Chains A and B, each alone.
Chain A
């Protein structure tokens, strides 16, 4: 589904990703962990197409096509979804209008009919239950005045509505209490499937108790320095990120453990 090779990316003159390799196959959930500043969020943003980052080398292939040639909206329409670490507030645009516009844009790209506001309400009702979201939120402006937890849940509602093939969760767990974390994780788990993949970017192992990954990668200094199964996350939790730096095995940087 997604194949990243030798990816290097800058923001301004600052190189953040320094030759990153990662392969995600259909149905797999990959966790990307790492200390602050290791490039986790940059990886997520580059896959989604954030214009502030320049890719200087390497390739990203999604379902056989060059992802780096695509605009952010084309990536979304092709089934990539990034749940933002800091969801953006858009005062004056209601959630209902925004979500329906997004839903219809994605449907149109897939050659499906657009839905009207009434049909869309039916779609929403079901999706909002997934994350226990109050329906009144539909008439509120996108994320405006939402608490941290509400914003993260709203990202998962969007994820559920757009039903992507590849979901990237960028520190969706940060700032959530344990109940909210469970709700968000349950929502994500219900969306898993054999043809759906996810990259879960997180600083803490905690989230991985709820969203159990197939693979865990440790990112440090802009490269993947270690990959393994879900047990790697537990080791990390016990020993901290410093332990990785001193115990990096030969051949680190390979995508698969």
Chain B
């Protein structure tokens, strides 16, 4: 059935073999989708830095290694998930371990109008018409990692919220990688569908245990019906040796609202794509985020907001705190299509460099094809303000207090946009801890 040709020794060929095992020669709608996606992945290959979308990020550490898809559900009962949770323990949560649903760590109470299932359950019936929804929004024609995910996707959350239903507690999707063997990989795939006027908050977080090198390539597709509103918070706290290349991609109908927050502090190399298509008049999005890295970490965010209809609004603030020899990348694209008159877009990216060796490449991009729009963008890269530090010290604060407070203040402006207090508090605490940790290292030199 597969007639794709690759170099036998290449990692790309390896993923093709994984697909072969996965399909086991059976034909179905899912199999067709997987094969189409793998075909695209093989043609595209891993992106090189010549690719404009990957100009500042080398995926060589991923492209030159052979990662093995975790073949089956690992027992998760022994895992202590408490430190990875936010808010009340009663909040509905779906936990996935090495890419597979872990029912013993999860609990979801039945709620009227809310359907919660797993991708594995959906795929078990390979010819289910629901399979047709996969890939409708997260297009893999030009996105190699989305293509790879689509070809090898194993499990994830499938959540559908009925018209007019408001879910009053956050739903937490927790993905834990344990590195069951060296160089394992998971390809989580989530589908969030909010029907007309539905409202929900979804936290999607990634964490790891152990010190094996692993790869996570998640894709989340979001469909927002007329007037629907989703708060989506992504938290990337992978372990130090991990690689994470994730995509969140949404399509929004009339008057819908997407509020996205992306936090990235983990992984050796991470790339987060947050994309939305404002496909109905009056739809709007806020895309906020923060990245905080040190050592040799590399963190990359690419956002894309496509204004496709009139009277659409976008607001975007991303902030970065970079220490050590870390490297941050921000690429924020805002497209305004010719029919998207009265678009109102604002975008900014501010970076704080805490060391001489940290580096940031920031590239806000506006492409406007309509003539009656209001769009602004800007980017800054700076260091801690020496005058402000002196001002604070002249009031009696010691150097560490002054520094911590200034860094915290920088982060707070965007963290306070997080709608879930428990997450906001946890991330604020993480900023404090990171800043103090770095301070101790400096003091210990």
> Do the two shown chains form a genuine complex with each other?
yes
Residues of A within 8 A of B (CB): 48-52, 71-73, 75-77, 81-82, 84, 87-93, 97-98, 101-102, 105-106, 109, 141, 158, 162
Please give, as numbers and ranges, the residues of chain A lying within 8 Å of B393 by CB-CB distance.
49, 71-73, 76
Please give, as numbers and ranges, the residues of chain B lying within 8 Å of A52 by CB-CB distance.
386
Is there contact, CB below 8 Å, between A76 and B390? no
Please give, as numbers and ranges, the residues of chain B lying within 8 Å of A93 by CB-CB distance.
405-406, 408-409
| Residue with the greatest number of chain A CB neighbours at <10 A, chosen from B387, B390, B399 | B390
Inter-chain CA distance A40–B156, complex, in Å, is 67
Inter-chain CA distance A87–B152, complex, in Å, is 58
Residue of A nearest to B395 (CB): A102
Is there contact, CB below 8 Å, between B390 and A50? yes
> How far, in Å, is A37 (CB) from chain B's closest CB?
20
Is there contact, CB below 8 Å, between B388 and A90? yes
| Given known A92-B413, A105-B401, contact A72–B408 (CB-CB < 8 A) | no
B391 at the interface (CB under 8 A from A): yes
Inter-chain CA distance A52–B413, complex, in Å, is 29
> How far, in Å, is A93 (CB) from chain B's closest CB?
5
Is there contact, CB below 8 Å, between B386 and A98? no
Over the window 388-405 of chain B, the binary record of Cβ atoms lying under 8 Å from chain A Cβ atoms (1 yes, 0 no) is: 101111111111011001
Is there contact, CB below 8 Å, between B396 and A48? no
Please give, as numbers and ranges, the residues of chain B lying within 8 Å of A109 by CB-CB distance.
396
In the complex, the 10 A-B pairs of residues with the closest C-beta atoms, listed nearest first? A92-B409, A105-B396, A102-B395, A76-B396, A72-B393, A88-B391, A73-B393, A106-B396, A93-B409, A92-B412
> How far, in Å, is A181 (CB) from chain B's closest CB?
23
| Residue with the greatest number of chain A CB neighbours at <10 A, chosen from B391, B392, B394, B398 | B394
Is there contact, CB below 8 Å, between B388 and A105? no
Is there contact, CB below 8 Å, between B413 and A87? no
Please give, as numbers and ranges, the residues of chain A lying within 8 Å of B405 by CB-CB distance.
90, 93, 97-98, 101
Residue of A nearest to B387 (CB): A88
Residue of B nearest to A92 (CB): B409
- Other than the given A73-B398, A92-B409, 4 more pairs (CB < 8 A) read A50-B390, A73-B402, A81-B394, A101-B397
Please give, as numbers and ranges, the residues of chain B lying within 8 Å of A91 by CB-CB distance.
409, 413
18 pairs, CB–CB < 8 Å, chain A vs chain B: A48-B394, A51-B390, A52-B386, A71-B393, A73-B399, A84-B391, A84-B394, A88-B385, A89-B388, A91-B413, A93-B405, A93-B409, A102-B395, A102-B396, A102-B397, A105-B395, A105-B397, A141-B409
Residue of B nearest to A50 (CB): B390
Please give, as numbers and ranges, the residues of chain B lying within 8 Å of A101 by CB-CB distance.
397, 401, 405
Is there contact, CB below 8 Å, between A72 and B406? no
B91 at the interface (CB under 8 A from A): no
Please give, as numbers and ranges, the residues of chain B lying within 8 Å of A82 by CB-CB distance.
394
Inter-chain CA distance A50–B394, complex, in Å, is 9
> How far, in Å, is B443 (CB) from chain A's closest CB?
15
Is there contact, CB below 8 Å, between A92 and B396? no
B54 at the interface (CB under 8 A from A): no
Over the window 319-362 of chain B, the binary record of Cβ atoms lying under 8 Å from chain A Cβ atoms (1 yes, 0 no) is: 00000000000000000000000000000000000000000000
Residues of B within 8 A of A (CB): 385-388, 390-399, 401-402, 405-406, 408-410, 412-413
Inter-chain CA distance A11–B291, complex, in Å, is 37
Inter-chain CA distance A52–B398, complex, in Å, is 18
Inter-chain CA distance A114–B300, complex, in Å, is 42
Q: Which of these, B390, B397, B408, contacts A92 with CB under 8 Å?
A: B408
Is there contact, CB below 8 Å, between A51 and B406? no
Is there contact, CB below 8 Å, between B394 and A49? yes
Inter-chain CA distance A76–B398, complex, in Å, is 10
Please give, as numbers and ranges, the residues of chain B lying within 8 Å of A84 by CB-CB distance.
391, 394
Inter-chain CA distance A49–B398, complex, in Å, is 13
Please give, as numbers and ranges, the residues of chain A lying within 8 Å of B402 by CB-CB distance.
73
Q: Which of these, A49, A89, A98, A162, contacts B392 with CB under 8 Å?
A: A98
Is there contact, CB below 8 Å, between A88 and B388? yes
Residue of B nearest to A158 (CB): B395
Inter-chain CA distance A243–B243, complex, in Å, is 73
Is there contact, CB below 8 Å, between B395 and A90? no
Please give, as numbers and ranges, the residues of chain A lying within 8 Å of B388 by CB-CB distance.
88-90
Q: Which of these, B387, B399, B406, B413, contacts A71 with CB under 8 Å?
A: B399
| Residue with the greatest number of chain B CB neighbours at <10 A, chosen from A82, A93, A158 | A93
Inter-chain CA distance A71–B397, complex, in Å, is 11
Inter-chain CA distance A162–B409, complex, in Å, is 22
Is there contact, CB below 8 Å, between B394 and A76? yes
Is there contact, CB below 8 Å, between A92 and B410? yes
Inter-chain CA distance A89–B401, complex, in Å, is 17
Is there contact, CB below 8 Å, between B408 and A162? no
> How far, in Å, is B128 (CB) from chain A's closest CB?
49
Inter-chain CA distance A88–B388, complex, in Å, is 6
Please give, as numbers and ranges, the residues of chain B lying within 8 Å of A75 by CB-CB distance.
394
Residue of A nearest to B416 (CB): A92
Residue of A nearest to B414 (CB): A92
Residue of B nearest to A77 (CB): B396
Inter-chain CA distance A87–B398, complex, in Å, is 19
Residue of A nearest to B402 (CB): A73
Is there contact, CB below 8 Å, between B396 and A73? yes
Please give, as numbers and ranges, the residues of chain A lying within 8 Å of B413 by CB-CB distance.
91-92
> How far, in Å, is A19 (CB) from chain B's closest CB?
25
Please give, as numbers and ranges, the residues of chain A lying within 8 Å of B392 by CB-CB distance.
90, 98, 102
| Given known A101-B397, A105-B401, contact A90–B409 (CB-CB < 8 A) | yes
Please give, as numbers and ranges, the residues of chain A lying within 8 Å of B391 by CB-CB distance.
84, 87-88, 90
